Amino acid sequence: MQARLGLIGVVAALAGCASSTMPGTVGVTRSQFMIVPASEVDALALSGFSNQNQKARAAGKLVNSGAEYDRLERIAKRLQAQVPVFRADTKDWKWELALIDAPVLNATCAPGGKITFYTGLVRKLKLTDDEIAMVMGHEIAHALREHGRERMSEAKATGTVTTLAKVLAPDKALTVDLANKASYFLFSLPNSREHESEADTIGLELGARAGYDPRAAVLVWEKMAAASSGAGKAEFLSTHPSNETRIASLTAMQPRVAPLYAAANKK
């Protein structure tokens, strides 16, 4: 472990580090280690998002219209209007929303603004608009902070992933093992506590600025925790640890974002 961290430290010193986002009111300023090109990660994310939607469409599970979709789209647009507070380049992102009709308690946002929600998350937890906004803001925050790219950069530095070029190449002889590794680091690998804390913090501010009650963040994580105590653990919680410390942290952050919510347009 020490050798691994030492290698990353040397490469980071040579490559330089910077924060992918502006601090906002919540003040996220951590420098990040990024040696994998954003263009490669974005291309991989778009491919994964497209494949996911194709499979859902083929199964008759991709929802493109209706009350549920319209509700999520409305919330997404309000949140998207606030993301320039953290990243000015998001005006060039091609935001997309996918709603999949499946009893899955999960939601994601891939690099470049590719949001996925499952109907099971909204229906089973009976989420309010405020609670949906807190979940969606959290996921958008992961994309803004480029946490997937950061994990892949660390993997590349330690030799776990040597290159992504073959993953993105049109060659039919594409290296499957390499593609699987890249997808794992981008989509499946659980986020660190540090990444989760940043997503909680930025997501809370995004929601408050968009006119959604930040107190709903505490409520939604309590619902998540309750759902995980049943027979089947929520998939969302398999990569999003929810515990008393997290809820306490969200509660402690309320005074910092309450003025933003008070000043926000609630429509």
**Active-site residue numbers?**
139
Considering only CA atoms, which of 122, 145, 150 is closest in space to residue 236? 122
d(CA 249, CA 133): 18
Considering only CA atoms, which of 200, 216, 209 is closest in space to residue 128? 216
DSSP-assigned letter for residue 135: H
The total of other beta-carbon atoms located within 10 Å of residue 233's CB is: 12
219-228: long-range contacts at Cβ-Cβ below 8 A with a sequence spacing of 24 or more?
219/131, 220/125, 220/127, 220/131, 220/134, 220/135, 221/246, 221/247, 221/250, 222/247, 223/125, 223/127, 223/131, 224/105, 224/125, 227/105, 227/124, 227/125
CB 234 within 8 A of CB 184: no
User: Tokens in use for 75?
Assistant: 């919330």
Tell me how far the alpha carbon of residue 145 is from its chain's centroid: 9
Phi, psi torsion values for 107, nearest 5 degrees: -155, 150
d(CA 214, CA 160): 39
d(CA 207, CA 250): 13
- What number of helices (H) and strands (E) belong to the chain? 13, 4
